[in-house]
A = this chain, B = another copy of it.
Amino acid sequence: MNPAERFVVVDWGTSSFRGWLMSADGEALAESRGGEGMLHCAGGASFAPVLRDHLARLGAPEAAPVLICGMAGARQGWVEAPYLKTPTRLDALHEGAIRVDAPSDIGGDIRILPGIAQGRADAPDVMRGEETQLLGVTEPDFSGLVCIPGTHSKWIRIEDGRIVEFSTYMTGELFSVIAQHSILLHAVEAAASPADSQPFRDGVSTALAAPTALTASLFRLRAAQLLGFEQRADGAARLSGLLIGSELADAMGRHGSLRSVRLIAAGALGRLYESALGAQGLDVTTVDAEQASRRGLAKAAQKIWGAR
């Protein structure tokens, strides 16, 4: 890639599209985002027109190369980019990228980065998109622990730039389904967003003190309100604390010797995790999630099409 050239990177998730036009040295020049995620494009046919529209909005030069990460590479996505298996080097991610045979009116080289699978029968796990964030926030010889909170929170252990082990917790998704579909819908205010409050911290503490009791602690949240110990307005924060605390209890049990964590997150969720991790005495460094994706995509793109 000639330094004067430009390239496009895309974080194509389940429910969102985020693309950037990048300078050859990895600076974001333009951004285009929308709700045309993998689910919107499902079936395969409509990935190309969605990409074409975003390339036009970005003002991408004709035939600019495009590097994609995320669910567009899933089996039910545009073209499947088979998983790399742990242990795997993050700086070799680009070697697993697969080329997309796109319509001729999208002239450039289009590739999708692979996800990563942990092919252990005792702890099977998968990620798609997070591996690119990990590449974005780690140095080639990084060793340590990374937490990526969200719908499916991930804790990843990296040694000398290699992902050696990871676990996914259904934390965010359980919060949603429990708050919307279980009896606890009567115990959380729909409008109240979980904030870093005393009820949140109490929930975290409860989960850490009784880490095997999650499904009982959930019912107690309701009982505490019926019996006047707690208020409905605090229910969402407490529920969030119980679920994040459960995640934290298990992760700290698995990685007890590590006292510092790199946190890839943003906004209110990032602050909740900063609070919960900090309260356990962990040394937390937070990196913005979107920046992590963009940086990881840029690093991989430069490996593929020429480094700066």
Kindly state the separation between the CA atoms of A173 and B170 in the bound complex, as whole angstroms. Answer: 17
Q: Report B-chain residues with C-beta under 8 Å of the C-beta of A169.
A: 215-216, 219
Partner of A216, one of B177, B178, B229, B250: B250
**Is there contact, CB below 8 Å, between A215 and B215?**
no
Interface residues of A in 243-290 (CB under 8 A from B): 243, 246-247, 249-250, 253
Partner of A227, one of B126, B152, B224: B126
Given the contacts A226-B126, A227-B124, A215 and B216 also touching, CB distance less than 8 Å? no
Partner of A223, one of B168, B183, B213, B218: B168
Given the contacts A223-B126, A223-B168, A214 and B216 also touching, CB distance less than 8 Å? no
Kindly state the separation between the CA atoms of A224 and B171 in the bound complex, as whole angstroms. Answer: 18
Q: Is the C-beta of A212 less than 8 angstroms from some C-beta in chain B?
A: yes
Kindly state the separation between the CA atoms of A168 and B224 in the bound complex, as whole angstroms. Answer: 12
**Is there contact, CB below 8 Å, between B212 and A215?**
no
Q: Is the C-beta of A308 less than 8 angstroms from some C-beta in chain B?
A: no
Kindly state the separation between the CA atoms of A108 and B170 in the bound complex, as whole angstroms. Answer: 53
Given the contacts A119-B227, A177-B182, A223-B168, A249 and B212 also touching, CB distance less than 8 Å? yes
Given the contacts A182-B174, A182-B177, A227-B124, A243 and B215 also touching, CB distance less than 8 Å? yes
- Interface flags for A205-225 (1: CB within 8 Å of B; 0: not) read 000001111111011100110
| A141 CB to nearest B CB, Å | 28
Instruction: Report 29 cross-chain contacts, Cβ distance below 8 Å, ordered by A residue.
Output: A117-B226, A117-B227, A118-B223, A119-B227, A121-B224, A121-B229, A123-B220, A124-B220, A124-B226, A124-B229, A125-B223, A126-B223, A167-B216, A168-B216, A168-B220, A169-B215, A169-B219, A170-B219, A173-B183, A174-B178, A177-B178, A211-B211, A212-B212, A212-B246, A212-B249, A212-B250, A213-B250, A214-B246, A216-B247
List the interface of chain A (C-beta within 8 A of B). 117-119, 121, 123-126, 152, 167-171, 173-174, 177-178, 180-183, 210-216, 218-220, 223-224, 226-227, 229, 243, 246-247, 249-250, 253
